[in-house]
Amino acid sequence: MASSTPTTLMAGAQGAATVSGTAKDEAKKPFPEFTVQARNVGASGSPVAGAIALDPNGNFTLTGLMPSKYVIELLNKNGKIVCTEGPYDLTQQPTKNDVVIDCKHVPVAMWLLAAAGAAAITAGVVTGGTDSPSR
């Protein structure tokens, strides 16, 4: 006979994280035409974990997220990503209430990707490309 305790603990752990904030400086009125989504960058394939339309004041709250690392994306009414904030680590502190979506600043994740790309190009140039090591 299976115990109900593990199921109860799992259910509580899975929906413990919340992200909220505003996008009123980036979105245009009417705000509800814009959507905010949380992309789980801590999971394989970085799936979208939740999405919600902005409220009439340009604010959002995403609840029921699994504790993980997320980037928050603002999408226009056509579903195109306008800008991204984060990443936010919700594994240690499962509530983030002060996200301000600001397209004018480059998120840390983008700087890291750019730096990694530059390092790979530099390594290829310094080592002479893909020539044989016996050269």
pLDDT at 10 exceeding the cut of 60: no
The pLDDT of 72-100, averaged and rounded, is 95
Distances (CA, A) of 83 to 1, 29, 45, 74, 101: 50, 17, 19, 6, 8
pLDDT at 35 exceeding the cut of 60: yes
Radius of gyration (C-alpha) of the chain in whole angstroms: 20
pLDDT given at position 7: 27
List 65's β-bridge partners, or say none. Answer: 17
What are the domain boundaries of the chain? 14-126
Q: Report pTM.
A: 0.67
pLDDT tens for each residue of 49-75? 999 999 999 999 999 999 999 999 999
pLDDT given at position 3: 40
pLDDT given at position 16: 86
Which has more pLDDT, 31 or 131?
Answer: 31
**How far is it, in rounded angstroms, from Cα 30 to Cα 76?**
11
Q: Which fold has domain 14-126?
A: Immunoglobulin-like (2.60.40)
pLDDT given at position 12: 39
pLDDT given at position 104: 80
Is 84:96 a contact under the CB 8 Å cutoff? no
pLDDT given at position 31: 94
**How far is it, in rounded angstroms, from Cα 31 to Cα 24?**
7
